[in-house]
A and B are shown apart, each in its own frame.
Chain A
Amino acid sequence: MAPPPGLRAFWVISGICLALLMILPLVPLAVWSVADGWRFPAILPQVWSADAWRYTLSPASGVLASLWSTTLIALSATALSALIGIPAGRALGLHRFRGKAAVELVILAPLVVPAIAVALGLHAVFLRLGLTGTTIGVVLVHLIPALPYMTLVMAAVFANHDTAYEDQARSLGAGRLAIFRLVTLPAVLPGILAGAAFTFLVSWSQYALTLLIGSGKVVTLPLLLFSFASSGRNDIAGAIGVIYVLPGIILLALTLGRINGRNVALPRGGLT
């Protein structure tokens, strides 16, 4: 059914506004990164330069090393989230059990309670365990905001998952591992990818938690970005900023086409 013309125009206009809202703030970043002098009221920089990029990509700036450690931390946090979030989401999505509401509340808590409040308490514990200032410590603290996303996405996926397929595989002689690999995993993979994209980006964008637990020794991109931005080096901050937004754009482009609500889980009643 075609929408009425007025509604269609509204959709188009709001779509354009939304796109502008998300893209426009990124434009100055890109311009700054190639500007040497850019003062009011000029619309474009008076002097163009590639110096900022040259410095950013040189070992001296530490940006590439930081890019590597940010990626490693985000990937580790995502992997750990999957390891915990997939079974947890399965339990929440499939089963009704005593105290389920309480468990859901605890899992959701990091999204409600400021993570920094939790992290302040954790800092004392991590100090004693010698985890402050380590990459492992930072990965662990990133789980606080990242894990709820994976768990909730997987709970939604498993809520629509038909375990009869797993019973059938078991009846045909498949063990637990084979059932997961051949029957469950292909069904929930789109959900896992969506959850992984969320957790990766959540970890990628952590600032306060990294600063607190990393004690300044674990320098991720947002920390570096903030220090250049606050010291007035808009050109270098712009270059780092461009690098910093890339994973989000890449992940969005990769997942947008795949996550469309269909093809998630084995629906009850079968596909045929």
Chain B
Amino acid sequence: MTQISVTRLCKDYAAGEGPALRNLSLDVNSGEMVALLGPSGSGKTTALKILGGLIAPDSGQVQFDGKPVLHLAPDRRGAVMVFQNPLLFPYMTVAENIGFGLRMRGVARNTIRDRVEDMLAAVRLPGFGPRRPSELSGGQAQRVALARALILHPALLLLDEPLSSLDTHLRADMQDLICALQKETRITTIFVTHDQAEAVAMADRVALLLDGSLRQFDEPTAFFRTPVDIDVARFFGATTFLPGHVRANIFDCALGPLSLSHVWGNRPATATIRPEAIRLGPGTANTFTGTIRTCQFLGTQTAVTVDVADTPLRLSLPPDQAAGLAPGQPLTLHLPPDALWIFP
């Protein structure tokens, strides 16, 4: 239950690699779960390591509950990190691994044993204490790594891509477990991921980092409905960007005038619509007929590209709606006004 405040954090690595972090400012509420999302090289792991006290920033400040912590060692500030690999100490048993942090704090042996048992039960590995790390599966090892951090009741729990080393089917289980334990303990948690689906599924709020800068810090739905710029929208899967001019609630572009649901002023602008928001058939407004260029079956969805007045529109359709569509066919569709978003 700690409020985290990050102010204008900067970190440069060796010359030529570009700054790893540029003026990162972030306020995380007590008990909140925040995802630091970004492609590799976006500075998200650097930010996490600075919070965890493993590297020092060039400038900026980090406060836990209003107190500056950058000068404090990791355990003094109460930030514990769980890495991408479980990193279980191979020369210790599972129980010794989980009890490691308490042992470093000089907690009595009996107390450690009891709390390790509780922790093993919490991560659904009862009776695994005497085992060696080499005897665990990847998912089990990652749960032990989580238990090893949680047993310390940290002020801030930092997870660095904790799920990326796991198979897909284990990942959902681990997501649920992390979320359940986080809700139960209310430990302020920041996790790093490059997977937007994972960020959206687990986090209360998502911080999107691109090229070392924070682009948008918002609730998950905002990245789909109200992205702040084209890069953010693109990262979250938007593919249609229409340059044009907005006049009140009309957007002039290559498709013709589009009706909008809001009044946006009068200026040149770019509009976007998510591939899953485009509807088939005629609508009350913004109805067009185009020619199907490509159809790609993607399992749960079918990606369809339609050329309307030489402008390609990308659609993502449920497979039943896409059945029977083929390249070369004409297709009528409409862009619902409330799904069109004009970048501010």
Contacts and interface: CB of A to CB of B under 8 A. Distances in A.
Closest CB pairs A-B (n = 5): A173-B75, A172-B101, A173-B104, A171-B81, A186-B91
Contacts of A52: none
Interface residues on A, range: 20 to 34
Which has the most chain A C-beta neighbours within 10 Å: B52, B53, B83, B85? B85
A172 B105 CA distance: 9
Classify the secondary structure of A's interface with B: helix
Interface of B: 52-54, 73-75, 79-81, 83, 85-92, 100-101, 104-105, 133-134, 136, 138, 141, 148-149, 152, 158
A174 B53 CA distance: 13
Interface of A: 164-165, 167-175, 178, 182-183, 186-187, 266, 269-272
A193 to B, nearest CB: 15
B74 A171 contact: yes
A272 B52 contact: no
B87 A164 contact: yes
Given A186-B91, A272-B141, A171 B53 contact: yes
Given A171-B53, A172-B100, A174-B104, A269 B152 contact: no
A172 B52 CA distance: 10
Given A164-B85, A168-B87, A270-B85, 7 more contacts: A167-B81, A171-B74, A172-B104, A172-B152, A173-B104, A175-B104, A182-B100
A226 B83 CA distance: 59
B199 to A, nearest CB: 22
Given A172-B148, A271-B134, A165 B80 contact: no
28 contacts: A165-B89, A169-B89, A170-B53, A170-B54, A170-B73, A171-B74, A171-B75, A171-B79, A171-B149, A172-B75, A172-B100, A172-B101, A174-B100, A174-B104, A178-B104, A182-B89, A182-B100, A187-B91, A269-B85, A270-B85, A270-B88, A271-B88, A271-B134, A272-B88, A272-B90, A272-B133, A272-B138, A272-B141
A110 B335 CA distance: 78
Nearest to B52: A171
A170 B81 CA distance: 9
Contacts of A182: 89, 92, 100
A243 to B, nearest CB: 37
B245 to A, nearest CB: 52
A168 B104 contact: no
B152 A266 contact: no
A178 B54 CA distance: 16
Contacts of B73: 170
B89 A164 contact: no
A170 B54 CA distance: 8
Contacts, number: 71
Given A182-B89, A183-B89, A272-B136, A169 B100 contact: yes
B53 A272 contact: no
Which has the most chain A C-beta neighbours within 10 Å: B87, B133, B134, B158? B87
B17 to A, nearest CB: 14
Contacts of A168: 81, 83, 87
Contact of A172 (B80, B90, B136): B80
Contacts of A171: 52-54, 74-75, 79-81, 149, 158
A186 B90 CA distance: 9
Contacts of B86: 270, 272
Contacts of A272: 86, 88, 90, 133-134, 136, 138, 141
Contacts of B81: 167-168, 171
Which has the most chain A C-beta neighbours within 10 Å: B75, B88, B90, B136? B90
Contact of B87 (A165, A173, A186): A165
Nearest to A266: B90
Contacts of A172: 74-75, 80, 100-101, 104, 148-149, 152
A167 B79 CA distance: 13
A164 B158 CA distance: 15
B144 to A, nearest CB: 9
Contacts of B136: 272
A271 to B, nearest CB: 5
A155 to B, nearest CB: 22
A271 B52 contact: no
Contacts of A271: 88, 90, 133-134
Nearest to B87: A168
Nearest to A189: B91
A266 B88 CA distance: 11
A247 B87 CA distance: 38
B87 A270 contact: yes
Contacts of B53: 170-171
Contacts of A173: 74-75, 101, 104-105, 152
B295 to A, nearest CB: 40
Nearest to B76: A173
Nearest to B105: A173
